[in-house]
A and B are shown apart, each in its own frame.
Chain A
Amino acid sequence: KAGVTQTPRYLIKTRGQQVTLSCSPISGHRSVSWYQQTPGQGLQFLFEYFSETQRNKGNFPGRFSGRQFSNSRSEMNVSTLELGDSALYLCASSPRDESTDTQYFGPGTRLTVL
């Protein structure tokens, strides 16, 4: 099976712009989670989607949003970018929405905000 894929892999934006990142889960996986990884804060949970519904949300401002499509693919959007949004954004998929399930991570999208 192909792994989790994320596009684009690298992105450079300027402050105030918005950005959309895409994630394709492993075939058959229905849960998609997003994480932000920075040197200072480490890996932090953004949100989780299952069956096109946001099931859980981390402690991030409303500028961060996401959605999931009927084929389980997911997108996350960041509006009004700030310098501090520069990070590696990781997507992870799992078969179900169960906390015992392993989450399989993609390679990430590295976002740089100038």
Chain B
Amino acid sequence: AQSVSQHNHHVILSEAASLELGCNYSYGGTVNLFWYVQYPGQHLQLLLKYFSGDPLVKGIKGFEAEFIKSKFSFNLRKPSVQWSDTAEYFCAVNADTGFQKLVFGTGTRLLVSP
């Protein structure tokens, strides 16, 4: 069975600090990887995704993530966070089985202080 681990449950940063959120998954086959964000009071939105090609993917709002197959990791990064990045971030895996079934990590709550 697939599983996703997000080791940082709560992160507090000051504006302009750099961000890296860890995500590791457990699955031996081909996977498609996603980062979703949930801003306060809003629904889940896609930040970025990876399914093939360049392992460094860029998403919206200056976010990027790197897929490292050997480490089963898909860490999210942003060089300089803003107060508006305060949200909950979810890493998710969809095994390449032809079905739609996202397995989510437990989420990381990011608080950016101005």
Contact = CB atoms under 8 A, between A and B. Distances in A.
Chain B CB within 10 A, most for which of A44, A97, A105: A105
Contacts of A103: 100, 102
Nearest to B46: A102
Interface string B26-70: 000000101010000011111001010000000000000000000
B99 A42 contact: no
B39 to A, nearest CB: 12
Interface residues of A, number: 27
Contacts, number: 69
Nearest to A42: B106
B114 interface: no
A35 B99 contact: no
Interface residues of B, number: 26
A107 B105 CA distance: 19
B102 to A, nearest CB: 6
Nearest to B30: A99
Contacts of B94: 99-100
B89 interface: no
- Interface of A (DSSP majority class): strand
Interface of A: 31, 33, 35, 42-45, 48, 50, 55-56, 58, 90, 92, 94, 97-108
Interface of B: 32, 34, 36, 42-46, 49, 51, 90, 92, 94-107
19 contacts: A31-B100, A33-B101, A33-B102, A35-B102, A35-B104, A43-B90, A44-B104, A45-B102, A48-B100, A48-B101, A50-B100, A97-B99, A98-B98, A99-B96, A99-B100, A102-B34, A102-B49, A103-B102, A105-B45
